[in-house]
Amino acid sequence: MLTDNALQILKARYLFRDAKGKISESPNQLFKRVAKYVASVEGMNQNLWETRFYEIMASLEFLPNSPTLMNAGLPRGQLSACFALPIGDSLDEIFTTLKNAALIHQSGGGTGYNFSKLRPKEDLVSSSGGKSSGPVAFMKLYDAATEYVKQGGKRRGANMGILNVDHPDIQEFISSKTDGGSLQNFNISVGIMDDFMHAMENEEDWKLINPRTGQAQKTVKAASIWDSIVQETWKTGDPGLIFLDTINRNNPVPKQGSIQCTNPCGEVPLLDFESCNLGSLNLTKVLIKDGGKIKINWSKLETNIQIAMRFLDDVITVNHYLLPQIKKISTSNRKVGLGVMGWAELLLSLGIPYASDEAVNLGEQLMEFIQIKTYESSKNLAKERGVFLSWEESSHAPNKPMRNATCNSIAPTGTISVIANTSYSIEPLYALAYRRVGILQDQTQTEINSIFVEEMQRRGLWNEKVKAEVLQSGSIQHMVSIPKESKKLFETSLEIPWQYHLLHQRAFQKYTDNAVSKTINLPEGTTVKEISEIYKKAWEYGLKGITIYRNNSRTRQVLQKCNFNNTAEC
């Protein structure tokens, strides 16, 4: 059953429109269109898999990434969520990549770039005798282009911009979003190496290397760069960090080169021209009542994993690739990323507080199960269809035949969580009631968590006073009428200690072969020192990337604690 918010998003972005712009399919027809097209490579078993693909989507037990839902079955349908594009140090390379990025955005995909090969600002341009504009200037050019090329004609493009911490322009990059108006279509992250973290901790010098010459251009204190990073993150939420050495220690195809880039939200480290093909399991759909107690139906979860993995592998086969380079590497490595959504609501249904060791341990157990079963599915697909083309030069060879170089990824599940009517990814609830602003141009959606309402009704605590408080503040923590165990269970994102945010990310990353996209949402009063501590701990935990957002550090944020009555707080 689709909610009003889900229908609003489907009508705005997903349902097919005719030549006059009129919606010409229902949500049910959308799922049938996608299932039919993706199953078209199944040969004699096409009807069987078409039915299974349709049923798992229509029941909202699994949803693929948005471009697949939007474009599957349409002419030249581009189905991948995002891509990594290389940027070389010449005007020709810079503008070729910009053209390719525009085509990708137009088709519904997002793009990630590492700008570290570009010579620094004011550096010599020998061909003209002039001076270089530097990476940040070209990022602004890409940002402006993104503004005018909507993704799939339906939403503005998403970008990840990375600059390595040893680039001479790193300080300009760190503060590039400090004015609150620049690079609005970019997430930015600093590419961090282990050597830098050691230099920072030991208060040592750090060399900034000109990529054109390979020579040190300047020497600074590593701690001074670190201080700039955490100060700007405190101020605006940018930059995040990408831990490049951690990523490359886990690169399944190291002979193809080192990974320097991720997709826009950081959940998929990618080689040049690679695409990410993602899908998410709805965890609230694998709960059953057993003797009056709610439990995880592990058998149902395993079945859904098998269907979802086959679906994602088929997507790689039926996909329309915009560039020959993208097709070559995507079909050679066949990377997929199956993740989850509804983690917070699963915990609520089980009566487990997010900020508890029990929740963290269950997260690790759940993701280990998912990884084991995705690997089994990929192994079975390899027996049926053959290993991925570059398997022999991968870390899986020679003893682990696999159809896919990677199998897991924890994506943010923004709009597909709304369609599935569940909580985002592995995030805790942002609030018990909130407004979602800006995802559909200037439209606003409102949410009151249904599990919370049901629990309050079960306890006989749901009344107009409680409702008014939740609509006002999004929280029950200040209400004397609510018992302590309910307050603990329904702690929201900003009320959960940051330590538990990180512990959940570490638990899921442990059994995720790609990466985990998670935002560490922090209360407004969080200090710069605490942000520094979080970033250090993320590296120590072996995370591949980290994103922090301090509440109200931007004038406009997508999720806002509710007052539905348009008071100053919203």
- Provide the annotated active-site residues: 263, 265, 267
Give the ranges where 422-565 is alpha helix by DSSP (H). Answer: 450-458, 464-473, 484-489, 498-509, 528-540
- Cβ contacts of 25 within 8 Å, gap of 6 or more: 15, 16, 33
Q: And the tokens for 74?
A: 């349409």
Task: Name the residue among 472, 428, 432 with its Cα closest to residue 451.
Answer: 432
> Which string of b and e fits 500-528 if b means at least 16 CB within 10 Å?
bbbbbbbbbbebbbbbbbbbbbbeeebee
Q: And the tokens for 266?
A: 């950081």
Please report, as a single letter, which amino acid is at residue 159. Answer: N
By three-state DSSP, how is residue 134 classified?
coil
476 touches 491 (CB < 8 A):
no
227 touches 174 (CB < 8 A):
no
CA end-to-end span of the chain: 30
* Residue 114, phi then psi, degrees to nearest 5: -110, 120
d(C-alpha 173, C-alpha 220), whole Å: 16
Q: What is the DSSP string of 538-552?
A: HHHTT-SEEEEEETT
Burial classification of residue 90, based on how many CB atoms lie within 10 Å of its CB (0-12 exposed, 13-18 middle, 19 or more buried):
middle
Q: And the tokens for 429?
A: 């609830």
d(C-alpha 364, C-alpha 516), whole Å: 13
445 touches 435 (CB < 8 A):
yes
d(C-alpha 136, C-alpha 183), whole Å: 9
CA distances from 498 to 22, 94, 317, 347, 493 (A): 46, 39, 41, 18, 9
Axis crossing angle, helix 46-58 with helix 298-318, rounded to the nearest 10: 120
Cα 258 to chain centroid, rounded = 21
Q: Is the dihedral of CA 285, 291, 293, 298 positive or negative?
A: negative
Pairing of strands 269-270, 261-262: antiparallel
- 């165990």: which residue's tokens? 485
Which residues on neighbouring strands pair with residue 84, listed in sequence order? 112
d(C-alpha 251, C-alpha 502), whole Å: 23
